[in-house]
A = this chain, B = another copy of it.
Amino acid sequence: MKVKSKIWLEKNGELVIGEGKSRLLKVINQTGSINKAAKKMGVSFRHAWGCLTAIEKRLGVKLIERSRGGRGGGGSILTPAAKRLIRKYDKLRDSVITFTDAAYKRISS
C-alpha cells in the first residue's frame, strides 16, 4: 500500500488554494497569459478567470496584474501576493507529503 495526501487552504469554509489553483497560477506565471494558461490546462478562459476572481475576493488581495497595450495585447503577471501564496502552499504541501510518507513507514513497520 501507498499513502496519498491532499492539502488545501480555506477561508470561511471556502477553498482558497489547492493543487489545481496553484498550478493555474504557476502556468499564468510561465506563459504571462490567463488565456494561454487556461488552454494549457484544458479549461475555459471563463473558468480560469472565475477561479482567479474567486480567490481574490476570498483573500481580499489582487493576484494578477494585467498590462495592456503593445502589439501582443499585453499580458498577465502575478502579483507578489500571488507568488507568496504559491510559495506558502508548495512549502506546506511538500512538507506534508514528506511527513506523511515517513509516518506511514513508521506505522507500517
Are A103's CB and B107's CB within 8 A? no
Q: In chain A between 69 and 108, which residues have their CB closer than 8 angstroms to a CB of chain B?
A: 88, 91-92, 95-96, 99-100, 103-104, 107-108
Map CB proximity to B onto A1-20 as digits: 1 under 8 Å, 0 otherwise. Answer: 11111111111000010000
How many of these chains are in the complex? 2
**Which one of B2, B11, B108 lies within 8 Å of A10 (CB-CB)?**
B2
> A residues engaging B (CB < 8 A)?
1-11, 16, 59, 88, 91-92, 95-96, 99-100, 103-104, 107-108
CA distance A92 to B4 in the complex (A): 11
Q: Are A92 and B96 in contact (CB under 8 A)?
A: no
User: Least Cβ distance of A102 to chain B in Å?
Assistant: 10
Q: How far is the CA of A91 from the CA of B107 in the complex (A)?
A: 8
Contact B1 A9 (CB under 8 A): yes
